[in-house]
Amino acid sequence: MANTLQELLSLSLVIFMAGNLLDMGFRLKLDEAMAALCNVRFVVYTLFWGFVAGPGLAFLLARTIPILPPYANGLILIGMTPCAPFLPMVVDRARGDLGYAAAMMLLTSLITVVYMPIVVPLMIPDLTAGAWAIARPLVFFIVLPLLLGVLLRATYRMLAERISPYVRRVTLIDTLVMLALCILVFGKDFWAAIGSFAIGTQMLYYLILTLATYWLSPGLPPSQRSVLALGMTTRNLGAAFAPLLAMDGIDPRATVMVAIGAPLTVIGALLTARWCARGTTPGTSDASPVTA
């Protein structure tokens, strides 16, 4: 029974990753994304906060706060994977620039696939899989679904728009199933996490990174800073799960730490969107030219 539940959980994780990225591709406005990527300042901030400061902060907290190593590993994986597929929804709530949201989704998804196979073995020596073992699930369950979604939208837009709600619905159902399976498989570990510093450390991570990203990114208007902050608040948990799928014998508490990120990143994103919206006048985009 336990083996069956484990296999079902692995399958639900695959559907979670592929479904989210396929839907992201369906909704990605490539022309707007490419225009926003001409803003060098925004791109530099995204790379710095997403792949230098974000992982660095996770590593620092994991080493200074007394959480168990498996929870620390899970936090570091979360720190390497900025920008959830539902970013446009919360950016819209924040009255941010949706073109920049598209740019961030595209940029972070592609960089993550190259970044994680190189950095994971350096920051988490416990994960001993080779670079290709880590990259393989990222390529097959993130890059390929994303490219498929983008290509379908570009060539058969009406079909993509028709399919997208069903993909979103299936992915939502799968997410609930995945969380239920996590509770069934790792119930004791979830309960143990409540009594540890794991949840509090993850909440502190989101708080520090969100505030730092918003206030320490000069030169961007509020509509773009809100995109940047929300991209860091939200986490691409499918990518964080990927290295855990790449090898056997992983301590389940690392998976639990990543799973805890699901409700925390959603709640954090909604609160951040509400906070960011206060700095933007309704009906205006606060847009600036897309060149640096």
The residue type of 214 is Y
Query: What is the SS3 string spanning 180-215?
Result: HHHHHHHHHHHHHHHCCCHHHHHHHHHHHHHHHHHH
Q: Are 266 and 175 in contact (CB under 8 A)?
A: no
CB contact set of 209 (below 8 Å; sequence gap of 6+):
49, 53, 54, 57, 232, 233
CATH number at residue 270: 1.20.1530.20
- pLDDT tens for residues 81-126? 999 888 888 999 999 998 999 899 889 988 999 999 899 988 888 7
Asked if residue 290 is part of any domain, the answer here is no
Asked if residue 258 is part of any domain, the answer here is yes
Eight-state DSSP code of residue 141: I
Asked if residue 40 is part of any domain, the answer here is yes
Asked if residue 127 is part of any domain, the answer here is yes
Q: Return the pLDDT at 115.
A: 93
Q: By residue range, what is the domain housing residue 144?
A: 2-277
Strands (E), 16-155: none
- pLDDT tens for residues 138-162? 888 888 988 899 899 889 888 888 9
Asked if residue 225 is part of any domain, the answer here is yes
Asked if residue 21 is part of any domain, the answer here is yes
Question: What is the domain count for the chain?
Answer: 1
Distance of CA 229 to the CA centre of its chain: 13
Asked if residue 292 is part of any domain, the answer here is no
**pTM for the predicted model, two decimal places:** 0.86
Q: Are 109 and 236 in contact (CB under 8 A)?
A: yes
Q: Are 251 and 70 in contact (CB under 8 A)?
A: yes
- pLDDT tens for residues 216-228? 999 999 999 999 9
